[in-house]
Structure 1
Amino acid sequence: MKILSKEQIYEGDKLTAQRQNISSTELMERAGTQIFNWMHMRMQGAQVPIHVFCGIGNNGGDGLVLARHLVNHGYNVHTYVVNYSDKRSKDFLVNYDRIKQVTKEWPTLMACEEDFPTITPEAIIVDAVFGIGLNRPIADWVKKLFQHFRASKAFTLAIDIPSGLQTDSVPESENDVVWAGYTLSFQSPKLIFFLPETSKYSVQWEVLDIGIDLEYIYKLNTEAELIGKQEVLPIYKPRKRFSHKGSFGHALIVGGSYGKIGSVTLSSKAALVSGVGLVSAYVPKCGYVPLQVALPEAMVITDENEKFISNISFDITPSAIGVGIGIGTQDETLLAFENFLKENKAPLVVDADALNLLSKKTELLALLPKGTVLTPHPKELERLIGEWKDDFDKLNKTKAFSKKHEVIVVVKGANTITVFQDKYYVNTTGNPGLATAGTGDVLMGIIAGLITQGYEPLSASVFGVYLHGKAADIILEDFGYQSMIASYVIDAVAEAYIDLFKQPEQPQVSEAEQEES
């Protein structure tokens, strides 16, 4: 699913009105009606108090359309106009007149803190104050209104975007923003829903289709794309009947040091379950017995050093190499890594201490093959790109780093974002159970395994992140967040593959309902 920018949303509204021969007021009516339908289907006439707070722009106009439909269907609705300016949008004024025609209880004008209504915890707040076009400082009394929402403990539903948030920046203070329990986003999600500093302002979100021109969306090139099952299915490579293990490549996993052989075991096993034909692990001598015992499916090559890697030399021709897990940052290892990069011709996935070695000696970045995949956690990323002031600055710096070095950067987090050149791929799978030792090693092994099988590095990164997160989602019910460990995630990768082709379960229909239909 494409994540549209603010400018693209405005352009889509404009083109839709032209191509469908409708006015902007009619498009607003469509949007407001969709919000009403969403609420009405869930509330079924329930008489809890609904407080609809409307700004004086188009977001407020959407709120007025919603309020009018709620009134017409007999809901217990109270409508307010947050009068923060003397300017009104044209469509707001049209719908302000329309709501006055269906109720004697006209919208209450609010202009200061004394106008705030009492809101009980069992009520519903609809936030339609500011939309994506917020371009002015917020008045102090409006900020206090937002704090009043939060203090009420009432469920808050935001229209399109929580008021006070912008689509491309982080608010200066969390008190300047509506904290929504749910956000109904028009046509496309917003990037801010997936960033650590801004996702907290909407616990859940959902996209409402308001009929934006499909041809426009289809042809649109967006900066960000949301990755779910429908986006990864076209990436998947089915196996041919007469394939053999040589058809799926030979992965090499390089890493480990004394006490950290488990990381290589996890990565090697993850590469195997991703579907590679052969896996070899390159480890110091102390890793030979543990790997042979723990993972008999893998072959083992050892460094001459007993406790850490001091020379990376092998006589196989791997299809792809994953390097860095548990490898350490000793001077001898740094030199071995440098010599390896100078000689290497295979596609690379670089993780963990190999990333720290790159940060330690940045000139080595020039030795990375084009399309190398880097999989840093936040601190490793900071060592590579420098400190950032907020999440948007982090993404911009990562994008610049990707373009400069022609690499793919997998920014790990609650919504892992794969960055390549000017594009962000935002993953939708995964859960807090992945916040445990070894899951990063598993991800590296999966991505290296997919590249080994012939997937392009970018496709392997996007697909690998999805499979990794989906495996964690599948086992969540059995293990919960606290008891999930990396080995369990590996074991569930098979189910993540199978899930790609599962059809959604159809709701059960009783015989009586069938007869009625």
Structure 2
Amino acid sequence: MKIFSAEQIKEADRQTVSKQGISSDELMERAGKLVFEEIHKRLEGSGGPIKIFCGIGNNGGDGLVIGRYLIEHLYDVTIYVVNYSDKRSDDFLKSYDKVKNTTKNWPILLKSEDDFPEIKKEDFVIDAVFGIGLNRPLVDWVANLIKHINSSQAFVLSIDMPSGLFADQPTKAQDAVVQANFTLTFQAPKLVFYLPDTGKFAGDLQVIDIGLDRNYLIETPTSAHLIRKQEAKAMYIPREEFTHKGTYGHALLVGGSYGKIGSISLTATATLRAGAGMATVFVPKCGYEIMQTLLPEAMVITDKAEKHLTDIVFDLEPSVIGFGVGVGQSDETLQAFEALLEKTEKPMVIDADGLNLLAANKHLLKKLPKDSVLTPHPKELERLVGSWEDDFEKLEMARAFVKEHKVVLLIKGSRTITVTEEDIYINSTGNPGMATAGSGDVLTGVITGLISQGYDPLTAAVFGVYLHGKAGDIAVNQLSYQGLIAGDIAQHIGAAYLDLFSTPNA
């Protein structure tokens, strides 16, 4: 699913008006009516007072259309127009006239803090003050209106965007952004809904198809993509009948140290659950009996040292190497890692202390095999690329890192993002229960297992993140957020595969 910029959405509006032979206010009427229908479907004529706050641009015009339909269906509605400028969009004015001409509920103008209405906790607030066109800080009294809405504890529905939130740039005044419980956004999601600094404002999200020009939407390239079931399903490579374990590769998992053998066992389990034909685990001697007991399906090679890795020697041709989970950061392990990089040509999947070793020894980055997959959480990413001011700068720095080192980079989080030189892929699966020790170790195994089978590293990263999140979603429905542990995610990877072919798409 494409994530369009604000300018691309505006151009889609223009193309729609031109190609469908309608006026821009007719498009506004269509969008507002669709939002009304969503609200009406849920409220079914009941509910308490509805307060609609409209700006004086097109987002405000949408709010006026919604308000008019709600009034016509006998809801208790009060419309407020946030009169922050003398300039009004033409379509807003047309919608404003329709409200005045067809209802007795004339909008109330708000010009300063003295005009703020009381908002009770039981009110239903519809936020239609600003949309995707906002690109400058709010005037003080309008910012205070947003704070007034947020402090009311009323249920807030934002139309297209929570007001105060910028679509394509950082939002610095975050105390002046509507904290929506639910956002109904038009045609396509916006990038800021999935970034840590700003996604918290959108609440639950629903995309409403308002019928923008299909050819434009299909033909217009975007650099950001949302990965849902239908996109993930298209990545799946079905198995053929006459195959064997060798067909699906031999993954080598290198990791573990004294007290941290459990982490590499999670990775190895996930590698096999993801479909690798064979898996060998390379661990220090202290991990031998643990690995043989925990995962009999995996083969085990041990280092000559007892408690940490010192010399990574193996007599096999792995399809892919997963490195870093639980290895620690001793000088001997660093030397062993560097030696491994010098003799390895196939892509690697590097996580945890493997990333920390790279960050502390930047010369190793030049030795990474091309198209290796790095899977940092935000703090590990900061060690690799440096600090950033906001999420947009973070993405720019991540792209620059990928371009320089020819790798695939994951930024783990609530909505894990896979970064390439030109594109980003935002995952739609996962839940707060996955914020638990070992979850990232499982993800490393899933991606390693996919590369072992023949998925290219980028597809393995994007598809692997989706499967990992879906496994967590399936498991959490049985176990709760609090009860979920990383091993549960690994055990539900098979169910995540099966879910690809269930209905409906999600």
Q: Structure 2 length as normaliser, TM-score? A: 0.98
Q: Distance in 2 between matches of 1:130 and 1:414?
A: 26
Alignment of 1:380-419 (within 5 A): 380-419=380-419
- How far does residue 32 in structure 1 lie from its aligned partner after superposition? 0.8
Q: Give CA-to-partner distance per residue, 1:210-256, whole Å, 9 cap, x none.
A: 10111111122112111111010010011111111111000000111
CA contact (8 A) 1:197 1:391 kept: yes
- For these two proteins, the number of residue pairs brought into alignment is 505
Aligned amino acid, residue 216 of structure 1 = Y
CA contact (8 A) 1:430 1:473 kept: yes
Q: Distance in 1 between matches of 2:151 and 2:288?
A: 60
Q: Distance in 2 between matches of 1:335 and 1:310?
A: 7
- How far does residue 172 in structure 1 lie from its aligned partner after superposition? 2.4
Q: Distance in 1 between matches of 2:175 and 2:291?
A: 53
CA contact (8 A) 2:123 2:155 kept: yes
CA contact (8 A) 1:71 1:102 kept: no
Q: Distance in 1 between matches of 2:351 and 2:137?
A: 43
Alignment of 1:117-266 (within 5 A): 117-266=117-266
Q: Distance in 1 between matches of 2:297 and 2:135?
A: 59
Q: Give CA-to-partner distance per residue, 1:106-149, whole Å, 9 cap, x none.
A: 11111011111122211111111111111233111111111111
> Percent of counterpart pairs with the same letter?
56
CA contact (8 A) 2:325 2:351 kept: yes
- How far does residue 78 in structure 1 lie from its aligned partner after superposition? 0.7
Q: Give CA-to-partner distance per residue, 1:145-191, whole Å, 9 cap, x none.
A: 11111222111110100000001233323321111111111001111
Q: Distance in 2 between matches of 1:152 and 1:268?
A: 50
Aligned to 2:471: 471
Aligned to 1:52: 52
Q: Distance in 1 between matches of 2:442 and 2:39?
A: 42
- The alpha-carbon distance between structure 1 residues 136 and 488, as it changes in their structure 2 partners (threshold 3 A), is closer
Aligned to 1:508: none
Q: Give CA-to-partner distance per residue, 1:15-66, whole Å, 9 cap, x none.
A: 1111111111111111111111111111111252111111111101111111
Aligned to 2:285: 285
CA contact (8 A) 1:467 1:496 kept: yes
- How far does residue 477 in structure 1 lie from its aligned partner after superposition? 2.3
Matched position secondary structure for 1:101: helix
- The alpha-carbon distance between structure 1 residues 330 and 47, as it changes in their structure 2 partners (threshold 3 A), is closer
- How far does residue 286 in structure 1 lie from its aligned partner after superposition? 1.4
Q: Give CA-to-partner distance per residue, 1:458-480, whole Å, 9 cap, x none.
A: 11001111111111111112221
Q: Distance in 2 between matches of 1:476 and 1:331?
A: 40
Aligned to 1:4: 4
- How far does residue 14 in structure 1 lie from its aligned partner after superposition? 0.9
Aligned to 1:376: 376
Runs of 4+ in 1 over 3 A off after TM superposition: none
CA contact (8 A) 1:253 1:281 kept: yes
Aligned amino acid, residue 480 of structure 1 = S
Q: Distance in 1 between matches of 2:107 and 2:345?
A: 69
Q: Is 1:75 matched with 2:75?
A: yes
- How far does residue 503 in structure 1 lie from its aligned partner after superposition? 2.0
Matched position secondary structure for 2:203: strand
Matched position secondary structure for 2:462: helix
Q: Distance in 2 between matches of 1:342 and 1:136?
A: 51
Aligned to 1:18: 18
CA contact (8 A) 2:134 2:167 kept: no
- How far does residue 104 in structure 1 lie from its aligned partner after superposition? 2.7
- How far does residue 384 in structure 1 lie from its aligned partner after superposition? 0.2
Aligned to 1:495: 495
CA contact (8 A) 1:121 1:153 kept: yes
Q: Distance in 1 between matches of 2:104 and 2:377?
A: 58
Aligned to 1:510: none
Aligned to 1:426: 426
Q: Distance in 2 between matches of 1:504 and 1:84?
A: 44
Q: Distance in 2 between matches of 1:27 and 1:386?
A: 45
Matched position secondary structure for 2:181: strand
Q: Is 1:323 matched with 2:341?
A: no
- How far does residue 491 in structure 1 lie from its aligned partner after superposition? 0.8
Matched position secondary structure for 2:184: strand
Which structure 2 segments of 5+ residues have no match?
A: none
Out of 439-448 and 172-181, give the one that drifted further.
172-181
Q: Distance in 1 between matches of 2:470 and 2:323?
A: 24
Aligned to 1:61: 61
Q: Is 1:345 matched with 2:348?
A: no
Q: Distance in 1 between matches of 2:200 and 2:357?
A: 34
Q: Distance in 2 between matches of 1:477 and 1:98?
A: 47
CA contact (8 A) 1:182 1:205 kept: yes
Matched position secondary structure for 1:147: helix
Aligned to 1:272: 272
Q: Distance in 1 between matches of 2:444 and 2:137?
A: 44
Aligned to 1:94: 94
Out of 155-164 and 138-147, give the one that drifted further.
138-147
Q: Distance in 1 between matches of 2:135 and 2:293?
A: 62
Aligned amino acid, residue 294 of structure 1 = L
Q: Distance in 2 between matches of 1:72 and 1:104?
A: 10
Aligned amino acid, residue 357 of structure 1 = L
Q: Distance in 1 between matches of 2:419 and 2:52?
A: 39
Q: Give CA-to-partner distance per residue, 1:57-108, whole Å, 9 cap, x none.
A: 1101111111111122221111111000000111111111111111233111
Q: Structure 1 length as normaliser, TM-score? A: 0.96
Aligned to 1:367: 367
Q: Distance in 2 between matches of 1:322 and 1:300?
A: 14
Matched position secondary structure for 1:180: coil
Aligned to 2:485: 485
CA contact (8 A) 2:267 2:444 kept: yes
Which structure 1 segments of 5+ residues have no match?
A: 506-517
Q: Distance in 1 between matches of 2:211 and 2:376?
A: 39
CA contact (8 A) 1:147 1:175 kept: yes
CA RMSD of aligned residues (A): 1.2
